[in-house]
Amino acid sequence: MTIDLLPFAVSLQLGLWVTVILAVCMFPFAWIFARSTKAWVPWVESLFSLSLVLPPTVLGFYLLLFFSPLSPLGQFLDNTFGLRLVFTFPGLVLASCIAGMPFMITALRNGIMAIPEHVLEASWTLGKGRLETIWHVVLPNMRPAILAGVITTFAHTLGEFGVVLMIGGSLPGISKVVSIAIFERVEAQDFASAHVYAGILLLTSYVGVFLLNRIQRTQRLRDARRDSV
Partner 1 sequence: MATKHRWSCIVLLLSLSSQTYAQNLNFSATNGFDSNKVADSIIVAAAANLASVGDLLKSAFEAKYAKASVTFVYGASGALSAQIQNGAPYQLFLSADLEFPKRIFDAGLAAARPQIYARGMLILFSLKALEFKKGLAVLSDPTIKQFALASPEIAPYGKAGREALVSLGLWDLVKAKIVTAQSISQAIQFTIGATGIGLINKSALYSKNLASFIDKEGLNWYQVDDSLYSPLVQAYVVLKSAASNQTTMAFAGFLSSREGKAIFLQAGYALP
Applying CB under 8 A, which residues contact partner 1? 1, 57, 61, 64-65, 68-70, 74, 84, 86-87, 165-166, 169-172, 176, 184-192
Q: Least distance from C-beta 205 to partner 1, angstroms?
A: 24
Residue number with CB closer to partner 1 (29 or 66) = 66
Residue number with CB closer to partner 1 (68 or 216) = 68
Residue number with CB closer to partner 1 (29 or 87) = 87
Q: Tell me the C-alpha distance between 189 and 194, whole Å.
A: 9
Contact 221, 228 (CB under 8 A): no
Q: Least distance from C-beta 204 to partner 1, angstroms?
A: 24
Q: Tell me the C-alpha distance between 12 and 124, whole Å.
A: 40
Q: Least distance from C-beta 14 to partner 1, angstroms?
A: 17
Residue number with CB closer to partner 1 (8 or 48) = 8
> Which has the closest alpha carbon to 49: 113, 1, 104?
104
Q: Least distance from C-beta 2 to partner 1, angstroms?
A: 9
Residue number with CB closer to partner 1 (86 or 97) = 86
Residue number with CB closer to partner 1 (2 or 228) = 2
How does 95-132 read in b/e, with b if 16+ C-beta sit within 10 Å?
bbbbbbbbbbbbbbbbbbeebeeeebeebeeeebeeee
Contact 115, 142 (CB under 8 A): yes
Contact 201, 178 (CB under 8 A): yes
Q: Least distance from C-beta 165 to partner 1, angstroms?
A: 7
Q: Least distance from C-beta 107 to partner 1, angstroms?
A: 32
Q: How many CA atoms lie within 13 A of 92 on its CB side?
A: 28
